[in-house]
Amino acid sequence: MALYAAYASNLDPEQMASRAPHSPVRGTGWLAGWRLTFGGRDRHWEGALATVVEARGEQVFVAIYDVPPFDEAELDAWEGAALGVYRKIRVRVQTLDGDALCWLYVLDDYEGGLPSARYLGILADAAEAAGAPDDYVKELRARPCASIGE
């Protein structure tokens, strides 16, 4: 099985259980040398979408899942991989058990733009459900967001 590192709404174990029901959570970790940011504008989310970009000295909290090929295909559909919204890359995730080689989705668009308040709330709730540290969740909730109609 391949290891998937979730950093956005897929941090939520309930959401992952519905999207990839045969993919157990393996643990959590940190994507060191990367930062969470937003890019593009998706009409369904009223703002920019989550992605990660390389950034020295930064880190992103992730949940790691064991994903079989049939669940991977379902996640690809959810994430719009076939439509070119997101693409997959391989990264190293730091865990308490050592580094893990995982794949994750990155937005195939420009960095920039603000997410909607609703989307930020979903990300913060998902991070909290996955066991992210309180200061990480608090920082997510404090991020600037797009005004309605922007």
Q: How far apart are CA 52 and CA 71, in angstroms?
A: 22
pLDDT digit string (tens) for the chain, length 150 residues:
699 999 999 999 999 999 999 999 999 999 999 999 999 865 566 789 999 999 999 999 999 999 999 999 999 999 988 888 899 999 999 999 999 999 999 999 888 889 999 999 999 999 999 999 999 999 999 999 987 654
Q: How far apart are CA 37 and CA 74, in angstroms?
A: 24
Task: Indicate the SS3 state at residue 10.
Answer: helix
CATH of the domain at 98: 3.10.490.10
Q: Directed axis angle between helix 117-130 and helix 134-142, to 10°? A: 180
In total, how many domains does the chain have? 1
pTM: 0.93
Which residues form the domain of 71?
A: 2-141
Domain assignment present for 97: yes
Domain assignment present for 85: yes
Contact indicator for 19, 74 with CB cutoff of 8 Å? yes
Domain assignment present for 150: no
Domain assignment present for 148: no
Domain assignment present for 110: yes
Domain assignment present for 146: no
Nearest-5° Cα angle at 142, 138 to 145: 140
Spatial neighbors of 147 by CB under 8 A, at least 6 apart, are none
